[in-house]
Amino acid sequence: MTITQLQYVLAVAEHKNFTLAAEKSFVTQPTLSMQIQKLEDELDILIFDRSKKPIQLTQVGEKIVDQARNIVNESHRIKDIVDQEKGFIGGEYRLGIIPTIMPTLLPLFLKNFVKKYPKINLKVEERNTETIIEMLEDGYLDAAIAATPLEHPHIRERALYYEPFVAYIPDSHRLSGKAEIDVEDLDLDDILLLEDGHCFREGVINLCSSKGDYTEHQFQLASGSFETMLKLADDGMGMTLLPYMHTLDIQKEQQNKLRYFKEPQPAREVSIIYHKSELKMHITEALKETISGVVRGAIAFQNVKIISPLSK
């Protein structure tokens, strides 16, 4: 049994196809198939049910894949130890970012990070929180940036910053005359929300439902982007809430429609998260330091108090 054989098993388990797994593993399909066959012969079991399309794991194969993932991850730790001993910060690093953070945070730190650590091959993927957790557990991501707390037993969280909610209120809205607003002013009946699957949507619902007036049937409109919600608000369809950093890039004529909350401002915690196995921690630490530095330099809300926990 070899680490390479286990890596091939994981590739087939992921792609459910020997040809595609071989392509992703940069070997020929006969080589990959032969190595997996040798492992199955050695163990005297079948890992994959090849009669099904797509290929499926057998019952014992599922257990083997779980253990193989642990073994391969631990083998990577040896390289981590050597890299840290040599002071080398490089190699492939896969980072996930949720959609409501990606457009505003990535431009702040990406150029600085790539310039400071040119030997890191950074691969960034936009994923929702649920998918990020699955990919971290399965080893397909090294770390991610998401709204927290997640309170997941296998995921570590380290806060990067706290980002306040800001209201976008059109001139025709009942709250447009207020210089500042309070959570008690909010009414979910006239708040435009992101569509299901976005953690920011759940944060807004939790914020408003603390008043005890939330029922699912109240919502008739949902959008997949903040830009769409701003247009709907300007058309008189209601108000919306934005993360603070999204307000920095909105059009000048829209700025006067922003309303900030009275202290303590509601906010979401944004963290870098990673698997408890803590692989590639030297790169994760470098990333955290870079992001914290640029955020401190770009925005000034580090001491905002969170008044309610936000769902993910």
Task: Determine if residue 278 is left, alpha or beta; phi over 0 gives left, psi from -120 to 50 gives alpha, anything else beta.
Answer: left
In Å, how far from its chain's centre is CA 18?
A: 29
* CA 189 distance to own-chain centroid: 29
What pLDDT, on a 0 to 100 scale, did the predictor assign at position 63?
Answer: 94
Q: What is the pLDDT of residue 197?
A: 54
In this prediction, residue 302 carries a pLDDT of: 41
Note whether 95 and 142 are within 8 A (CB).
Answer: yes
Distance, CA of 100 to CA of 172 (rounded, Å): 27
Residue-range domains of the chain with CATH: 3-83 (1.10.10.10), 89-161+269-298 (3.40.190.10), 163-267 (3.40.190.10)
Res 195: pLDDT: 66
pLDDT score, position 226: 83
CA dihedral 240, 237, 196, 250 (to 10 degrees): -40
- Quick: pLDDT tens for 213-230: 544 434 445 556 788 888
- pLDDT at position 111 is 92
pLDDT in the model for residue 298: 64
**Pick from 21, 110, 104: which is nearest to 65 by CA?**
21
Q: Rounded CA gap, 158 and 149, in Å?
A: 9
From start to end of 127-250, where are the E strands? 143-148, 155-168, 180-181, 191-194, 222-223, 239-243
Q: How many CB atoms lie within 10 A of CB 104?
A: 19
pLDDT in tens, 59-116: 999 999 989 988 888 887 788 788 777 777 888 899 999 988 999 899 999 999 999 9
**Of 132, 56, 123, 143, residue with least CA distance to 99:** 132
Cis before 264? omega within 30: yes
Positions of the chain with pLDDT under 70: 195-199, 205, 209-224, 297-312
User: What is the rounded distance in angstroms from the CA atom of residue 171 to the CA atom of residue 255?
Assistant: 12
Helix, strand or coil for residue 204? helix
What does the pLDDT read at residue 305?
42
Secondary structure of residue 143 in the 3-state scheme: strand
For 284-307, give one letter per residue: b (16+ CB within 10 A) or e.
bebbbebbbebbeeebeeeebeee
CA distance 44 to 258: 66
Q: What is the pLDDT of residue 299?
A: 60
3-class SS of residue 114: helix
- Provide the pLDDT for residue 81: 80
pTM equals 0.74
Note the pLDDT of residue 209.
64
